[in-house]
């Protein structure tokens, strides 16, 4: 397992690589959210995102973070509209 210094330097290296792939600031912040959460197991915050990316105004990472959590909730939601449940049970 990586210690805090190694994790931070690896995260910065990954963010630098993302800069080349994502020219738009909003896309860069969205990808940084996913990177922090899924690869490094860190909960992204507006401040931590801005400290990593240092691009745009503070409203950009806030909006990207809001959209990230919204998309994650939507993908994790289970839809039970067409469950294989008897009709009598559906009515109740």
Nearest 5°: the CA angle 80, 83, 88 is 115
Residue 35: alpha-carbon gap to chain centroid: 7
pLDDT (tens digit per residue) in 68-82: 999 999 999 876 666
Q: What percent of the chain has pLDDT over 90?
A: 73
pLDDT at 1: 41
Q: Which parts of 1-92 fold into alpha helices (H)?
A: 4-21, 25-34, 46-53, 59-76, 87-91
């Amino acid at each position: 397992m990586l210690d805090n210094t190694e994790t931070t330097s690896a995260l910065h290296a990954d963010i630098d690589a993302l800069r080349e792939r994502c020219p738009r600031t909003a896309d860069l912040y969205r990808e940084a959210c996913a990177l922090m959460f899924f690869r490094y197991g860190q909960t992204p915050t507006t401040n931590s995102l801005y400290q990593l990316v240092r691009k745009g105004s503070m409203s950009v990472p806030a909006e990207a973070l809001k959209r990230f959590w919204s998309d994650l909730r939507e993908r994790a939601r289970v839809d039970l509209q067409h469950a294989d449940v008897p009709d009598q049970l559906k009515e109740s």
